[in-house]
Chain A
Amino acid sequence: MSKPRVAVLASRIRTDEKHILAALDRRRICYSHVDSRTLWSFSHGTAATPVTLNRELAHHRAVYAARSLEALGVTVVNSATATEICGDKWRTSLALRAADLPVPATALALTPDAAREALAAVGYPAVIKPLVGSWGRLVTLVPDAQVAETVLEYIAALPGPQAHIVYVQELVAARGRDIRAVVVGGEVLGATYRTSTGWRTNVARGATSQPCPVTPELVKLATAAAAAVAADIAGVDLIEDEQGRLAVLEVNAGVEFSGFQQAMGDRVNVADRIVDHVLSKVEAL
C-alpha cells in the first residue's frame, strides 16, 4: 500500500468531513485521518504526510496542530496563520482594515469599563462578540446603554482574562439576512443568503440558506477578504446595509458548508473543490 500524501486532521467527523473523506475515496487518494485528540508532537523531526487539511473544529487545537505540523515542514491548509487570524475576531478585523476592505464600525475595549465608552462611540444598537467562538454563541445584541451596563457586569464576572477584552461592533440593519460566500484557492464557489427569524443568521442556529447572485462586487470583496486573512479555504460572511452596500463581517477558516451545499445543489461540489485544492498543494511539492 502506498504511503499517504494527505492527512485530514479532525476530531469530529461531521457531515462536511464525511463529504471530504468521500471525495478523497472517490479519487482513490491514499490519505490518513488524524484525530487531533490523539496528536502530540516534538518541536523537531519529520512528519508522516507532506500535506494536511486542517478540519479541527476546536480553535486552540487547530492552531497548535497547524503550528506544530508547519514546524515539521508540513503544508497545512489552511495555514496556522490563517487559522490564528480567523479564529480571533479582532485579528480578523485588523487584517480586513489593513487590506482596506469595508467592515462595520468595530472597536476593542481592553476592560469592561472601557467598553462603555467604546459602545457609546460605536453607537447603539451594538453587538458584543466573544473574541474566540463561533455559531453565534454568546453574541449579544446591546440595544442601549442600560442593557450595556448589565451585560458588561456579566462580562466582568466571567473567569479568564481574555473574556474581559470586549469586542464591540455596530449592528448593521441587515434585512434579516447575511451572505455566506465560499472561497477556495482564490475562487468564489458561490454565495448564499442566510435568513433567520432571529437576529443571528448562523446556520448552526437554524438559519436557512438560499442561493445569492454572485456579483462582481461580491467576488472582489470575498476573494480580497480571504486573501487578507491568508485563507486558502474560507467562508466569508458579508452583510448588506439598507443601500445594498456590502461589508465583511468575518472570515471562517474551518468553513462549514452543509447549508451552502444544500442551497447550491449540483451547481458546485464544495468537498470536491476542497480536495482539488489540497491535491494541488501535493502536486506543487
Chain B
Amino acid sequence: MLSCPECASPVTLAATPRLSEILECGDCQAELEILAVEPVTVGLAPEVEEDWGE
C-alpha cells in the first residue's frame, strides 16, 4: 500500500496509473505526483510556478 509522503495516510490509485499523474491525498489534500509506475511511487507534486497556466 502506498502512503502519502506528507501525512502517511494510504493513497488510492486509479486502475491504470500514469507517469506524472497528479493525485490528491484523501486525508491531508496534499497534491501528489506519480513518479514511477513500475512499481508505483509517489512524491509531493511541485509547487505552482509563476508562469503556469493555460
Task: Give the size of the chain B interface in residues (CB under 8 angstroms).
Answer: 14
CB distance from B23 to the nearest CB of A (A): 10
| Contact of A134 with B20 in the complex, beta carbons under 8 Å | no
| Contact of A13 with B50 in the complex, beta carbons under 8 Å | no
Residue contacts A-B, CB under 8 angstroms, 19 given: A11-B20, A12-B33, A13-B20, A13-B21, A35-B19, A57-B54, A58-B49, A58-B51, A59-B52, A60-B51, A130-B50, A133-B50, A133-B52, A133-B53, A135-B53, A137-B50, A252-B53, A252-B54, A256-B54
CB of B44 closer than 8 Å to a CB of A: no
Determine the residue in chain A with the shortest Cβ distance to B14: A18
CB of B22 closer than 8 Å to a CB of A: yes
Interface of A, secondary structure class, is loop
| Contact of B21 with A18 in the complex, beta carbons under 8 Å | yes
Residues of B within 8 A of A (CB): 18-22, 33-34, 45, 49-54
Known: A59-B51, A252-B54. 18 other contacts (CB 8 A): A13-B19, A13-B21, A18-B18, A18-B21, A21-B18, A33-B19, A35-B20, A57-B53, A58-B51, A87-B51, A133-B53, A134-B52, A135-B52, A137-B53, A252-B53, A253-B54, A254-B53, A255-B54
CB distance from B37 to the nearest CB of A (A): 11
Determine the residue in chain B with the shortest Cβ distance to A250: B54
Task: Give the size of the chain A interface in residues (CB under 8 angstroms).
Answer: 27
Residues of A within 8 A of B52 (CB): 57-59, 133-135
Residues of B within 8 A of A14 (CB): 22
CB distance from B47 to the nearest CB of A (A): 12
Residues of A within 8 A of B (CB): 10-14, 18, 21, 33, 35, 57-60, 87, 130, 132-135, 137, 204, 235, 252-256
Residues of A within 8 A of B34 (CB): 13
Cα–Cα distance between A13 and B49 once the two chains are bound (Å): 16
CB distance from A102 to the nearest CB of B (A): 21
List of 8 A-B pairs having minimum Cβ-Cβ separation, nearest first: A134-B53, A252-B54, A59-B51, A13-B21, A13-B20, A134-B54, A254-B54, A57-B52
